[in-house]
Chains A and B, each alone.
Chain A
Amino acid sequence: MAYGIRLKIWGDHACFTRPEMKVERVSYDVITPSAARGILEAIHWKPAIRWVVDTLHVLEPIRFQSIRRNEVGGKAPAGKIKSAMKRGDLADLQLLVDEDRQQRASTVLVKPAYIIEAHFELTDRAGPEDNEGKHLDIFNRRAKNGQCFHQPCLGTREFAASFELIPPGTPLPQAIAESRDLGFMLWDIDHQAKDRPALFFRAVMENGVVKVPQPTSPEIRR
């Protein structure tokens, strides 16, 4: 963990959707390691590195709110796009929201704030010019200046995340004084695996801190 970083993130709402309740979305109680990884990647990522989340600190009480929205049911079918490309005519390429409407409720978190403790590892795509110090510097510089590749979000894109680097050496803000068994929680998605890409772990929050198992740990279940 020599090359660790600590990032504080917060926002008005968040929705880290539970995979078992994704139609009418229900958020997990706390941010998932995969969402945390996505936030770090929004600030700095290259194929040469892989972010690994170590610890999540929950800084605000866990509270929920319900929001119901009109959403569309369909996705853009690739076949139709292809035939429109061939025809050179867009006439029948559209999605009619009134005819394909679904009303869905989301149970989202209110005013979440977290600290992500993470580090990165070099992957086998790292070239001779890649070294830990370089990527660590880039990340720290960007996070300090508020720079990002795209604005990170708390689960879904309508819930933007604000972020702030906690420089090495400074103490962390106090996490909430609450312990809770969070049950099985998504660890990350293995995009290499064809059949069962979702990885889970048993998340336990102790005094507001969730320890995240490392990639090859036996605690991660498929």
Chain B
Amino acid sequence: MTILVIAEHDNKVLAPATLNTVAAAAKIGGDIHVLVAGQGAGAVAEAAAKIAGVSKVLNADNAAYAHQLPENVAPLVAELGKGYSHILAAATSNGKNILPRVAAALDVDQISEIISVESADTFKRPIYAGNAIATVQSNAAVKVITVRATGFDPVAAVGGSASVESVAAAHDAAISSFVGEELAKSDRPELTAAKIVVSGGRGMQNGDNFKHLYALADKLGAAVGASRAAVDAGFVPNDMQVGQTGKIVAPQLYIAVGISGAIQHLAGMKDSKVIVAINKDEEAPIFQVADYGLVADLFEAIPELEKLV
């Protein structure tokens, strides 16, 4: 059994989610190869070769793969993937974009966002916004899977000494092209990898008031998240959204401020180790999952908490 893991990267840096994906591959068992598809991503391939447990890195360097366009990357993965028992990628926006296309090319169903490996063909995944956990078994020759990073502890980024091989295969479907991107810039830790997350909801009232959360987060070394209500109201950009349709986080500490706790929000954070809720409404559903609840006006509680940290 040999497993192909698709590296998540931006041509410069290997994303941490790759380490969680390799951890899932290690649970399945077998040789682990990592594919780096990109342009000028030599440093990423070098970093992938150092991951503990990886035996080979395939470096596909081509202008067609520069922006991870699925029309070009999926045929590459499908072609290389035929010889593997499993193809894994992190359930990031890239992984979700590319892998179903790979599965269709191989004529197999894809398994989305697994949270545990039961055996080489059996996996657990959440359905209905995390309100049920399904155990699914695949009879496909190649199992194509996306991995929910928070379900697996990352493997060590160093300690491995895999060989790096170049892959010549160039697939350019020439039916799509990259135009541009607008990435949010922040000095705070990345939301999905942060140890502490402070999130604000509709109760923040406006975008300016998020400065209170930023101040608290900076003292805690935390990332800042948001509920859908806060995003829809334009308080913060959508890449901060935590929930069924946003990001899935499972930090050591999640502080929900002015968030009622709708099913769709809980789907994104209820695996956090400790949950704190600060809300004026003592009936808010968030208190049913919170380890520590404080019924208080957030505009008084947050500055006070910030002073105490």
Chains A and B bind each other? no
Chain B interfacial positions (CB closer than 8 Å to A): none
